[in-house]
Structure 1
């Protein structure tokens, strides 16, 4: 009987390895990933697929940028953006294990100056609420406060009180970068070190993630750094890296697939790496418990993925795929996308990093899961997604023809200094033959105006080609004087509708 049991156990151990060998053939995957980035016109991609104790694949495809044909490899550094949130959540878990914090610690108890739109929410909101995106704010609410700007932590915290909620407190999902900044500030207070120092001492150094960094300047000096790209007017163009030094806990980390493999293996090994405990598994598991329901995405529905439920834990998205629980997270900079996923019951995980704004990392995650626990034949996610995307036409950005209104105010009528409670001082002035708008604290939101009506102008941001044309509408008082203006520029990530500029006398 004992010999039969031993043989049965041996079979269980052998079968997964043979499945990996067949499904994750390195040679076939290398050819496939090269084909995918060619199809999607992505300059470069890096991929790692790992088990708890071995490497199935670590490789790069394509190039660092379109103008420097240096190949991507497993050590190529990418901005991983919001994948940084999983690191921040894990540090919080470490602090909870050390009794420095509790997941249910009220933010107000640690940051007395913290204030939100509602006095009750201000008093009651906890780290758990912040980490699980259930504060009542809309997705990406307030990101214009800090994005492309040099404003400091204290300024950001002071201004979020002006953000109006989209949902009831603890009722709906509202993705918030700013709440992760606040989690990072609380980490600094708990450990009496900068966020970058805590990140390095608790996670990066123990995991031998020596090239990984949350410091923008340090990343920019790396000679093996992938460059961001976007699709603009039918062409792939390079984008400059924006510093996220004022938002490190939410999206400031740079890493590569070799070092992210160490991170995934730590998570698959219950918080240990190379037999050294990094984070107590009890608290990692709490991060992976459902906190906030999520809807299935448009892509999930179109591809008819075998996913019944999605939700968000603390720092992690959760889903079932063919009946298996998976933890995952994506990240996006302007011109760069990341996607990581782990499936604990299969003791396997993967990371996909692309240096272009693209769906490729997401659909390759689904392809990976399909190969891991799919049934019968592969679902061909990359091919089917590409066919879907070809049916969607990206709006073109066209210059508007100037329209002379019945009462054509002179340019000086619109010029002056304006103020908004979220982004601060703004100036409109004459520049050459055009009116020009400049948000003073921003490094990128500087645009020119083209008149379309008496009090309406088209707005173009030359330094942010990924943004489509916007529209400015001026408001006047009963005396015919400019009171202020609003910006109409629909965008899923940057909410210009949250801004209302008043003219300063």
Structure 2
């Protein structure tokens, strides 16, 4: 009887291993076929649980001109996933007693931010964190945020028509300190200030996604802590988790491992940074972001190092009601403090900037998460967008097979 039990267990183990190998091989074949279509220069994927990596692999090129492969250690900017780090930092700042989540931002800032249409209503930290501040991001703010690292070397006309036009505008931009950039946008004497920088609705009334509001939240942390936002995140997040090659500038990471990013016509874009960098300028790898995501979900389950279970639950729970939304489409995705929380209990964020798309989501029902990075432009690029969707669909099929 004992031998029969051992034999049965061995057969079950072998069957499970074969099933796992088939699932992984199927995912690899699909992703390999996608990169061979040529619409994405390079990409990396990760599928993970709170304590294990189920699948991690890179495809295509980080630098196609030099045949440098895209790997799980390839570094790139991650776009708006960066905002989740503002959320974590806010919870840490509250824990440190620097302010509360309901503190009016004008009690913190060295300049006053007054809602142009509702000057009697104070904007709070919570309003910024849930995108209900009444702040509106103008095209001018977007355009002036991006700064080319070496503008004198850029040849705009080698790109497709739309990218070339955009590059001609970016060449004019100058780097600005975070506080100076925000002051220029939010104060009446600022070069970017207009009353239309604010919505008609008062703070707290309606949801409206705002990069400028996110950057302002990070600046509140800078002012209250008397540390730069990079210093604050290094001390309270990166070092705690033990992540290397994660930072807010080129000189804070191993630039040799940094991917080139590519335009719609497959030409490498110039290196750029962001004046409003906390809203989308973090640089890391698939491997590094996976460690971060695992830590934050472990915090959510009360097993992490950076935040307590209560802090993480508060940060990731849905704070908005249907009254906050303008359209039925918006209601599908709710917000915690800079973390998305949709009605199917999917937690995370995505990102998109010139030459990059990123996804980071944890599916609470199956207790598995996934990350996707690409160094290819998908903004108004239907071919790249379709290939990204196909990649994510393949990852989701793999997740569901592993969860069974």
Report the Cα offset of residue 143 of structure 1.
Answer: 2.3
The residue number in structure 2 matching 1:318 is: 341
- TM-score, normalised relative to structure 2: 0.76
Higher strand share: 1
Q: Find out whether 1:242 has 2:275 as its counterpart.
A: no
Report the Cα offset of residue 82 of structure 1.
Answer: 1.1
Listed as ranges, the matches of 1:44-55 within 5 Å are: 44-55=42-53
Contact 2:181 2:276 in 1 (8 A): no
The residue number in structure 2 matching 1:329 is: 349
- Cα deviation per residue 1:424-481 (whole Å; 9 max; x = unaligned)? xxxxxxxxxxxxxxxxxxxxxxxxxxxxxxxxxxxxxxxxxxxxxxxxxxxxxxxxxx
Give the Cα–Cα distance (whole angstroms) in 2 for the partners of residues 143 and 309 of structure 1. Answer: 26
- Of 365, 368, 373, the residue aligned with 1:353 is 373
Q: Find out whether 1:283 has 2:311 as its counterpart.
A: yes
Contact 1:127 1:183 in 2 (8 A): yes
Give the Cα–Cα distance (whole angstroms) in 2 for the partners of residues 145 and 257 of structure 1. Answer: 28
Contact 2:109 2:223 in 1 (8 A): no
Listed as ranges, the matches of 1:339-418 within 5 Å are: 339-358=359-378, 359=385, 360-361=387-388, 364-369=391-396, 371-372=398-399
Contact 1:108 1:123 in 2 (8 A): no
Q: Find out whether 1:160 has 2:186 as its counterpart.
A: yes
- Of 332, 336, 349, the residue aligned with 1:309 is 332
The residue number in structure 2 matching 1:216 is: 250
- TM-score, normalised relative to structure 1: 0.62
Go from structure 1 to structure 2 and tell me whether the alpha carbon gap of 1:140 and 1:207 turns closer, same or farther (over 3 Å shift).
Answer: farther
- Of 277, 285, 289, the residue aligned with 1:256 is 285
Aligned residues: 342
Listed as ranges, the matches of 1:379-458 within 5 Å are: none
- Cα deviation per residue 1:76-98 (whole Å; 9 max; x = unaligned)? 10110211100111111112233
Q: Find out whether 1:171 has 2:205 as its counterpart.
A: yes
Listed as ranges, the matches of 1:62-211 within 5 Å are: 62-118=60-116, 120-121=118-119, 123-138=121-136, 142-148=141-147, 149=173, 150-152=175-177, 153-161=179-187, 162-163=193-194, 164=196, 165-169=198-202, 170-211=204-245
Higher helix share: 2
Give the structure with higher Rg (CA).
1
- The two structures, once aligned, show a CA RMSD in angstroms of 3.0
- Cα deviation per residue 1:241-296 (whole Å; 9 max; x = unaligned)? 2112x3221112101111111111112212589x6621112122112222345657
Unaligned stretches of 5+ residues in structure 2: 1-11, 148-172, 188-192, 379-384
Match of 1:238, SS? coil
- Cα deviation per residue 1:139-158 (whole Å; 9 max; x = unaligned)? 55632343333133224324
Contact 2:230 2:248 in 1 (8 A): yes
Go from structure 1 to structure 2 and tell me whether the alpha carbon gap of 1:241 and 1:272 turns closer, same or farther (over 3 Å shift).
Answer: farther
Give the Cα–Cα distance (whole angstroms) in 1 for the partners of residues 232 and 359 of structure 2. Answer: 24
Match of 1:135, SS? coil
Give the Cα–Cα distance (whole angstroms) in 2 for the partners of residues 133 and 19 of structure 1. Answer: 45
Give the Cα–Cα distance (whole angstroms) in 1 for the partners of residues 113 and 70 of structure 2. Answer: 45
Contact 1:114 1:158 in 2 (8 A): no
Looking at both structures, which has the greater relative contact order when contacts are Cα pairs under 8 Å and sequence separation is at least 6? Answer: 2
Listed as ranges, the matches of 1:455-494 within 5 Å are: none
Contact 1:115 1:122 in 2 (8 A): no
Give the Cα–Cα distance (whole angstroms) in 1 for the partners of residues 295 and 19 of structure 2. Answer: 23
Match of 2:266, SS? strand
Match of 1:39, SS? coil
Go from structure 1 to structure 2 and tell me whether the alpha carbon gap of 1:120 and 1:328 turns closer, same or farther (over 3 Å shift).
Answer: same
Report the Cα offset of residue 240 of structure 1.
Answer: 1.0
Give the Cα–Cα distance (whole angstroms) in 2 for the partners of residues 310 and 110 of structure 1. Answer: 30
Give the Cα–Cα distance (whole angstroms) in 1 for the partners of residues 237 and 396 of structure 2. Answer: 26
Give the Cα–Cα distance (whole angstroms) in 2 for the partners of residues 18 and 121 of structure 1. Answer: 63
